[in-house]
Amino acid sequence: MNKPLPEPAAGMSVITLGTAAGPAIRGPHPGMATAVVVDGSFYLVDFGLGITRAANSAGLRGENLRACFITHLHSDHVAELPGYFLWNWGRPVSGITTPVTVFGPGTDPQGIPGENGGTGAMVEHVLEAYSYDINIRVHDEGRPDLRQLVLAADIELPAGVADTAHGNHTPAMEPFLVYEDELVRVSAILVEHPPVFPAFAFRIESRYGSVVISGDTTECANMVTLATGADLLIHEAVNLDYFAALDMAPEFLNHQRISHTTAPGVGRVAAQAGVPHVVLSHLAGLASDDEWSAGVRTEFGGRITVAAPGNRFEIAGVPVLAAR
């Protein structure tokens, strides 16, 4: 007689599956990826190198995945998307058996038409690239067709924002709704990560509280807007001195300077937003945990954590969504 399955644990938690910036391997940590778990279901933000094994080690199974969100289309945030779904597909691996949508940036409205594709085009091409494997497993193993399970949606900017953003990647704006189900509400806002556009940060709210995930961005007012009142802020950070000491090309150093946030900059964002707890992730460049924290501490008096892969943070804030 089979034992009944345990009831999913109630509550909300955030797992930093991967914490390293890229695309480079400068240490042992997996690339950028974060899971938000609510009442036993989970949501993924970004697909950095190593997420497939990290999610499995965290006890996350594809059968409980609700939706996915991509902050921007740099390779270190999407490179393992095909690997994740190919390893989490169908009943033999407790994978997805019903459609899951990947929400992410669309085509740059300021770019040259046809120059680049958005999330929808990327997912379509990825699935086509693995069509041989998909077809074989559908017919040989009885799996559902992965091309009917992994859906994609380009996030549309609110009316007027795209025009306002011409020449300005982060016009002052309010967060806008991207996704909603009976467990969570997910909002996005534009952040500053030139030359990438659009690039998003996400706020995920449940009846238990809220978490904001910055994606890649330099210090900007939109991050303060999105993070105000959140229970947890997961923010990227860069160590500019580390890269300067490596004698990198001027273009590379300039990108780090104008597209990422220093530790003191993270502190300023957190202080202005009034969040109680900052978690540093997507760490660009090497530094000790004490060095990262000290930089944030110059501007912020709340709790600071330098994330490691597999860290789990429980959210226990005042309910912001009514139980349904």
State the pLDDT confidence band at 250, using cuts at 50, 70 and 90. Answer: very high
C-alpha span between 128 and 215 (Å, rounded):
27
Q: How many CB atoms lie within 10 A of CB 99?
A: 10
Place of tokens 């609700």: 66
Domains in the chain, start-ordered, CATH in brackets? 12-303 (3.60.15.10)
- As a whole number of Å, the CA-based R_g of the chain is 19
Which of 69-73, 90-94, 219-223, 254-258 is predicted with the least confidence, judged by mean pLDDT? 254-258
Is there a contact between 89 and 96 (Cβ–Cβ < 8 Å)? Answer: yes
Average pLDDT of the chain? 91
| 95-153 pLDDT, tens digit each | 999 999 999 999 876 665 555 689 999 999 999 999 999 999 999 999 999 999 999 99
**pLDDT computed for residue 254 by the predictor:** 87
| 296-314 pLDDT, tens digit each | 999 999 999 999 999 999 9
State the pLDDT confidence band at 166, using cuts at 50, 70 and 90. Answer: low
Residue range 162-168: mean pLDDT, rounded: 69
**pLDDT computed for residue 97 by the predictor:** 96
DSSP state letters, 231-261: SEEEEEEE-HHHHHTTT--HHHHHHHHHHS-
Please state, in angstroms and as integers, the Cα–Cα distance from residue 24 to each residue in 20, 48, 76, 201, 282, following that order: 9, 11, 8, 22, 12
Q: How many CB atoms lie within 10 A of CB 58?
A: 18
Enter the tokens of residue 156: 């549309």
pTM of this prediction exceeds 0.85: yes
State the pLDDT confidence band at 26, using cuts at 50, 70 and 90. Answer: confident
Residue 273 has pLDDT above 70, yes or no: yes
